Structure 1
Amino acid sequence: MLVYNTTYHVDDEMIGNFLIWLKECYIPEVEKHGLLKTPRLCKVLSHREDSGASYSLQWEVENSAVLHQWHTELGAKLHQELIHIFDNKVVGFPTLMEVMK
């Protein structure tokens, strides 16, 4: 199993709107699509900047082929929506991790 993580840095004035969008639009849309599972939203407490806040959104995904399928079918569209709504007030970077036992 893999974990697909996106860490977002959000300007102070956008935190409330971003969290609402994430919880009410983004996460439900991804869950409805069905390829990414078990969302976990965390506030990043380390690396505190002078302004803004950082959040980590993690999903379980079966393998990299499934993640690529999700990105092609839905992920790219949702990323464009994020840019359209928040412009440069929210920036994110993805990380793909393997669960080690």
Structure 2
Amino acid sequence: MYIYNVTSNVDEAINEEWLTWMQTEHIPQMLATGKFSNARLTKVMVEEEMGGVTYSVQYVTDSKATLDEYFAQEAGLMQQAVVKKYGSRVVSFRTELELLSDH
């Protein structure tokens, strides 16, 4: 199993709007690509020096091949949607994770 993790720092002025948009539009659109079986939205419980509120969204997929398909087919458009809507008020970085074991 692979996890595509997107960590985002959100300007406090748009925090509630962004959170609603993520839950009602963006995450459902990510799941609708058919590349991910589920998603988990979490709040990062640290205070950032740069301010804002930080979140992590973990999208679960079955294989590296499926994740690579997402990157080739949809990733650019999905990332552009966030930038177009929020610009520099949301700063994100992405991490690919391979699940080795659950305990």
Is the TM-score greater than 0.5? yes
Once residues 20 and 74 of structure 1 are traced to their aligned partners in structure 2, the CA distance between those partners, rounded to angstroms, is 22
For residue 35 of structure 1, give the secondary structure of its aligned residue in structure 2: coil
Mapping 1:62-101, distance limit 5 Å: 62-101=62-101
Identify the residue that residue 10 of structure 2 maps to in structure 1: 10
Residue 19 of structure 1 aligns with an amino acid whose one-letter code is: L
Stretch of structure 1 that moved more, 85-94 or 56-65: 56-65
The code of the aligned residue for 1:61 comes to T
The runs of at least 4 aligned residues of structure 1 exceeding 3 Å deviation read none
What is the Cα-based RMSD across aligned positions, in Å?
1.2
TM-score, reference length from structure 1: 0.91
- TM alignment of 1:4-83, pairs within 5 A: 4-46=4-46, 48-50=47-49, 51-83=51-83
Counterpart Cα distance in 2 of 1:30 and 1:36? 7
How many Å apart are 1:73 and its aligned residue? 2.2
Shift of 1:71: 2.3
Q: Percent identity?
A: 28
Structure 1, unmatched stretches of 5+, are none
Question: C-alpha displacement at 1:62, in angstroms?
Answer: 1.6
Whole-angstrom distance in 2 between the partners of 1:16 and 1:2: 29
Offset of 1:16 from its aligned partner?
1.0
Specify the code of the residue in structure 2 equivalent to 1:77.
L
| AA at the equivalent of 1:49 | E
Aligned residues: 100
